[in-house]
């Protein structure tokens, strides 16, 4: 689950990531956004409508699914994860398990390394410009 975007490119990137994770797990992983992405014109995202959590949860429940396993693409806990998704799951009467977020203070090394490598790949050098983490 990502936060969602009105930018079709974000939906397409989420789909690529879900496909790669599906290969690694050996089972389908569905790309779903918390909000917004269902407003993207399907013609700009390969003709397939984007899925938001509430719509996905309703469809999954109707198809007989009892519990959703959510892997959040979030740096840390947010109201979307701690309140919004659990409230929607309760409203739809479907179980919900949310894995840990991408970063925890106890396990920061992996994400810090990725962020560092991404910055270095831009050609940034120590002492050159101010670095922001947004």
> pLDDT (tens digit, 9 = 90+) per residue, 100-119?
888 877 777 788 888 889 99
Task: Output the six-digit token pair for 128.
Answer: 């050159």
For the chain, what are the domain ranges? 8-103
pTM above 0.75, yes or no: yes
Mean predicted confidence (pLDDT) in 71-94: 93
Confidence of residue 129 (pLDDT cuts 50, 70, 90): confident
pLDDT tens-digit readout, 4-55 = 899 999 999 999 999 999 999 999 999 999 999 999 999 999 999 999 999 9
Distance (Å, whole) CA 93 – CA 39: 25
CB 50 within 8 A of CB 37: yes
Supply the pLDDT for residue 132: 83
Backbone angles phi, psi at 35, to 5 degrees: -145, 175
Distance (Å, whole) CA 52 – CA 31: 9
Which of 23-27, 82-86, 107-111, 123-127 is the least confident region?
107-111
Distance (Å, whole) CA 15 – CA 44: 13
């Amino acid at each position: 689950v990502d936060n969602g975007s009105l930018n079709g490119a974000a939906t397409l990137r989420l789909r690529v990531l879900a496909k790669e994770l599906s290969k690694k797990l050996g089972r389908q992983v569905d790309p779903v956004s918390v909000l917004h992405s269902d407003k993207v014109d399907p013609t700009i995202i390969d003709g397939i409508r984007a899925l938001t959590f509430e719509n996905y949860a309703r469809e999954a429940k109707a198809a007989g699914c009892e519990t959703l396993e959510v892997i959040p693409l979030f740096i840390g806990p947010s109201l979307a994860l701690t309140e919004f998704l659990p409230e929607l799951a309760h409203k739809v009467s479907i179980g919900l398990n949310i894995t840990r977020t991408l970063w925890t203070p106890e396990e920061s090394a992996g994400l810090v390394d990725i962020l560092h490598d991404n910055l270095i790949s831009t050609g940034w050098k120590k002492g050159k410009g101010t670095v922001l983490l947004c």
